[in-house]
Amino acid sequence: MKLFLTSIASGSLDLVRPLLSTPPSKVSLAYIETASDPYPLDARPWVQYDKDKISELGFIVSPYDIKGKTETQLVNDLSKFDAIFMEGGSTEYLLKQVKISGFDKAIIKLLDKGIIYIGSSAGSCIMGKSIEHLCELDHFQIQDSVEYAGIGLVPHLMVPHYGRDKYEGRHAKMKEVWGDKLTFLTDNQAILVNGDKIEIVTNQGGL
């Protein structure tokens, strides 16, 4: 299993190289922007930051949307790629679409095929055990219909964007409630999973 779970991909995607068997210019990547759907087109700057970094590294990119798909369709479609990139946005909305489509089951089959999963912010957090701790960070709007259980492929309760002034107050409140159960990631950090090895890596030249 190969996972690269970033706070924001533009800050640390350079460090994904140990998971790649070829240069990025030979890696086909399915780019999934579903998590950003709830935001106006002019209010999702992180999307362009990540796209710029993906382009800079030279990946072969194809856009993809998990909405309206079935588990079988997802496996068939995404098996054609070397890597899957799950963009950030609303963690709540993304997890809901993941479960409706069956992506939560499909990704396990895809990882077993050797496909690499790359997450950015929300795209990373859904891979943990739960997203309940992110209620304060994301200001969930439809909590009564949220299934908080994540996909559970890593044992972490991930919190992105640590150290950003914008989130300082919210991060402090989360610490009060959840304490050392949380794994905070700065925008230069990622959780790298390569088989049984799990480590937090830091891009010293990041954002």
Asked if residue 85 belongs to a domain, the reply is yes
| pLDDT per residue as tens digits for the range 136-150 | 776 655 555 557 899
Spatial distance between the Cα atoms of 49 and 87, rounded to a whole number of angstroms = 11
- Torsions phi, psi for 79 (to 5 deg): -65, -20
Let me know if residue 63 belongs to a domain: yes
Domain of residue 113, residue span: 2-202
Higher pLDDT, 186 or 132: 186
Amino acid at 134: L
Instruction: Kindly tell me if the per-residue pLDDT of 178 is higher than 70.
Output: yes
8-42 pLDDT, tens digit each: 999 999 999 999 999 999 999 999 999 999 888 88
pLDDT tens digit sequence for 66-104: 999 999 999 999 999 999 999 999 998 999 999 999 999
* Domain assignment present for 207: no
Matching residue, tokens 């995404």: 78
Q: What is the pTM of this model?
A: 0.93
Q: Which residues contact 178 (CB under 8 A, 6 or more apart)?
A: 133, 157
In a domain, 190, yes or no: yes
- 162 torsion bin: left (phi>0), alpha (psi -120 to 50), beta (else): beta
CATH number assigned to the domain comprising residue 141? 3.40.50.880
* Tokens describing residue 183: 């794994």
What SS3 state is found at 200?
strand
Where do the DSSP E strands lie in the chain? 2-6, 28-32, 60-64, 83-86, 116-120, 157-159, 182-184, 189-194, 197-202
Measured from the Cβ of residue 23, the count of other Cβ atoms closer than 10 Å reads 11
Total structural domains within the chain: 1
pLDDT for 140 equals 57
